[in-house]
């Protein structure tokens, strides 16, 4: 096979896995998937090495899934891998870090021979237990754990598995529907793959996989060689649950090798903010690859050169049966601490710290009089990203997760709530030569006759995003009722009927000294309502010309 043929097939594979992901978006029941894109999809060779991933999806899902398919391959050897099989798990340590993520793997056969796997992951709104929140003390409290098992065997769905899942969740139709959507997603990818293989007259993926992974591995190692050799360290303190958490990383660069070691990071928490190491590796690799080798495709070959370790039992390498439900809170902050270390090696390259961790909120709405059903509502919300060396930060944007938020209209259709307010938070972006991205202010109330409990899982309240190179910190977040009553940033809390919950999301840090900001940029910020007249004068030294 010629090199040009492999390149054309590589381009086709990207289209295949993107259609795979779009099938999941179109058929999913949960708003977290169909509205927010909290998913991943990819193709793996027969050795369970990720060849291609869909652009649609999150780094935490994609890079963790790159490891998890190997666990499926080890569980079901050649004798147990049958045409028509579909496997699944939500095991946090073998999947993508918490019980709410279900990973489905489908072995691909061609002319009776096993040639690879399609895999996908999605976040379901409910998996039982306490619900999506940080209050659990063991993983057993956090919901139903499904070991690696067969959802379908030789084309026959296992009814007992579906019955057990439905019996243990609050949203049986939605959760079961999402699992069928995941299986359909892989089936769509498989159909397109066979069409491509028919076109090119090939019956296995080995040659194509070797080509893709070898080139990606070599390109990544060459990119690492451009980073100056040395040892680079950074630490960052974040809120945690009941006590602050210190995240510490040491990067060691030697030629074409790069090691990231999280020794010095805090020990485990008693609550569900712990992170399985697979999720830590996923987001650490994302930060490193975005900075060092952004143009190299993301696959097993390009991920292999990054060596990521965390001390076993630390909060970033939690042991079973630690609670891990909201592992994203600290997991989404891992890139900030890694980028801070890279700043020492590659000045004027990486952004300032951002809000980073999503401000997810799970809402359980119930009738005040106890009559009739309630609803489980999940919302994804984002603060501001850190300013970049040459550009302002992005406002109300999910980085590093990359998910979208659910629209207000979609959220209000799921259950009896009203989103009264959702706007950018004035003055929340960290001042600098380049301003941090703004957070947002959101107000939520149950409809008449209802009240609600919500699971708070928010960070950057006590420890805001720090600026870089003289830039100032972004504004810290705040959780309260609309009348100003302060609430906790983590844990299950009640909002009575007729009361509004107000979330003020944190802003990103600034980059460079504020006095170096261009006067035209300050005036534009003032006109847009991004800063106050007082900020314009006190921080930037610009008079309000009006």
Q: Which domain holds residue 505?
A: 351-546
Domain end, chosen from 328, 349, 370, is at 349
Same domain, 309 and 402: no
Q: Are 199 and 212 contacting, i.e. CB atoms less than 8 angstroms apart? A: no
pLDDT band at 546 (very low <50, low <70, confident <90, very high): very low
Q: Are 265 and 256 contacting, i.e. CB atoms less than 8 angstroms apart? A: no
Mean pLDDT for the stretch of residues 218-224: 98
In a domain, 216, yes or no: no
In a domain, 211, yes or no: no
Mean pLDDT for the stretch of residues 273-280: 98
Same domain, 343 and 355: no
Q: CA dist 228 to 171, 251, 336, Å?
A: 52, 11, 20
Determine the pLDDT at residue 542. Answer: 73
Same domain, 315 and 417: no
In a domain, 220, yes or no: no
Q: How many domains does the chain have?
A: 3
In a domain, 406, yes or no: yes
| DSSP-assigned letters across all residues of 32-67 | HHHTT--EEEEEEETT--EEEE-SSS-HHHHHHHHH
Of the ranges 344-353, 429-438, 530-539, which one carries the lowest mean pLDDT score?
530-539
Mean pLDDT for the stretch of residues 296-317: 97
Domain end, chosen from 329, 349, 369, is at 349
Same domain, 296 and 415: no
Mean pLDDT for the stretch of residues 437-463: 97
Same domain, 518 and 464: yes
Same domain, 467 and 420: yes
Residue 114 pLDDT greater than 50, yes or no: yes
Same domain, 401 and 545: yes
Of the ranges 412-421, 493-502, 536-545, which one carries the lowest mean pLDDT score?
536-545
pLDDT band at 544 (very low <50, low <70, confident <90, very high): low
Q: Are 428 and 506 contacting, i.e. CB atoms less than 8 angstroms apart? A: yes
pLDDT band at 543 (very low <50, low <70, confident <90, very high): low
Segment 452-468, tens digit of pLDDT: 999 999 999 999 999 99
Q: Are 299 and 213 contacting, i.e. CB atoms less than 8 angstroms apart? A: yes
In a domain, 445, yes or no: yes
pLDDT band at 440 (very low <50, low <70, confident <90, very high): very high
Mean pLDDT for the stretch of residues 32-39: 92
Determine the pLDDT at residue 3. Answer: 80
Within 8 A by CB and 6+ apart from 271, the residues are 134, 135, 136, 137, 241, 242, 323, 490
Task: Retrieve residue 319's tokens.
Answer: 């042991």
Same domain, 495 and 452: yes
What DSSP designation does 119 have? Answer: E
In a domain, 209, yes or no: no
Mean pLDDT of the residues in the chain: 96
Segment 257-271, tens digit of pLDDT: 999 999 999 999 999
Same domain, 192 and 242: no
Question: Which residue, chain included where needed, has tokens 């259609």?
Answer: 19
Same domain, 48 and 86: yes
Q: Are 222 and 295 contacting, i.e. CB atoms less than 8 angstroms apart? A: no
Determine the pLDDT at residue 484. Answer: 97
In a domain, 213, yes or no: no
Pairs from 67-75 (Cβ < 8 Å, separation ≥ 24): 67/278, 67/281, 68/94, 68/95, 68/96, 68/103, 68/119, 68/121, 68/278, 69/44, 69/105, 69/117, 69/119, 71/148, 72/48, 72/105, 72/117, 72/119, 72/148, 73/47, 73/48, 73/117, 75/148
Same domain, 336 and 358: no
- What is the rounded distance in angstroms from the CA atom of residue 153 to the CA atom of residue 456? 40
Packing angle between helix 3-27 and helix 172-200, nearest 10 degrees?
Answer: 160
Domain end, chosen from 330, 349, 368, is at 349
Same domain, 304 and 263: yes
Segment 149-191, tens digit of pLDDT: 999 999 999 999 999 999 999 999 999 999 999 999 999 999 9
Q: What pTM did the predictor assign?
A: 0.96
């Amino acid at each position: 096979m010629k090199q040009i043929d492999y390149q054309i097939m590589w381009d086709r594979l990207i289209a295949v896995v993107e259609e795979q992901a779009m099938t999941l978006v179109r058929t999913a029941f949960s708003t977290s998937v169909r509205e927010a894109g909290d998913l991943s999809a990819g193709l793996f060779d027969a050795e369970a090495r990720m060849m291609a991933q869909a652009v649609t999806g999150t780094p935490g899902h994609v890079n963790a899934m790159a490891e998890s398919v190997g666990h499926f391959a080890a569980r079901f050897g050649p004798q147990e891998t049958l045409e028509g099989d579909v496997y699944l798990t939500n095991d946090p340590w073998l999947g993508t870090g918490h019980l709410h993520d279900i990973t489905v793997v489908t072995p691909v056969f061609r002319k009776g021979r096993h040639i690879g796997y399609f895999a996908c992951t999605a976040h379901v709104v409910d998996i039982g237990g306490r619900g999506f929140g940080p209050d659990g003390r063991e993983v057993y409290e956090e919901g139903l754990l499904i070991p690696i098992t067969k959802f379908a065997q030789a084309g026959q769905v296992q009814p007992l598995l579906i019955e057990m899942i439905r019996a243990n969740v609050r949203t049986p139709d939605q959760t079961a529907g999402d699992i069928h959507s995941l299986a359909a997603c892989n089936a769509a990818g498989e159909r397109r793959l066979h069409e491509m293989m028919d076109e090119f007259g090939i019956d296995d993926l080995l040659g194509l996989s070797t080509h893709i992974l070898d080139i990606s591995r070599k390109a990544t190692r060459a990119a690492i060689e451009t980073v100056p050799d040395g040892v680079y360290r950074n630490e960052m303190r974040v809120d945690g649950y009941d006590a602050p958490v210190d995240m510490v990383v040491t990067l060691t660069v030697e030629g074409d090798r790069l090691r990231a070691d999280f020794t010095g990071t805090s020990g485990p928490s008693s609550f569900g903010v712990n992170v399985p190491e697979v999720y830590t590796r996923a987001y650490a690799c994302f930060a490193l690859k975005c900075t060092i080798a952004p143009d190299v495709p993301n696959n097993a070959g390009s991920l292999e050169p990054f060596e990521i370790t965390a001390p076993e039992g630390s909060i970033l390498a939690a042991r079973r049966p630690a609670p891990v439900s909201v592992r994203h809170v600290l997991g989404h902050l891992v890139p900030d601490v890694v980028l801070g270390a890279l700043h020492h090696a590659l000045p004027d390259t990486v952004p300032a710290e951002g809000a980073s961790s999503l401000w997810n909120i799970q809402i359980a709405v119930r009738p005040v009089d106890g009559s009739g059903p309630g609803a489980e509502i999940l919302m994804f919300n984002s603060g501001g990203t850190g300013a970049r060396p040459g550009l302002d930060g992005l406002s109300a944007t999910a980085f590093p997760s990359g998910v979208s938020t659910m629209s207000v209209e979609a959220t209000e259709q799921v259950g009896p709530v009203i989103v009264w307010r959702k706007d950018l938070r004035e003055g929340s972006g960290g001042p600098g030569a380049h301003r941090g991205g703004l957070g947002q202010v959101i107000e939520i109330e149950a409809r008449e006759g209802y009240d609600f409990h919500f699971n708070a899982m928010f960070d950057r309240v006590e420890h805001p995003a720090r600026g870089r190179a003289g830039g100032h910190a972004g504004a810290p977040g705040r959780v309260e009722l609309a009348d100003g009553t302060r609430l906790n940033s983590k844990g299950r809390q009640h909002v009575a009927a007729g009361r509004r919950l107000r979330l003020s999301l944190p802003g990103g840090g600034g980059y460079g000294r504020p006095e170096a900001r261009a006067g035209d940029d300050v005036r534009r910020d003032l006109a847009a309502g991004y800063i106050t007249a007082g900020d314009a004068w006190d921080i930037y030294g610009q008079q309000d010309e009006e």
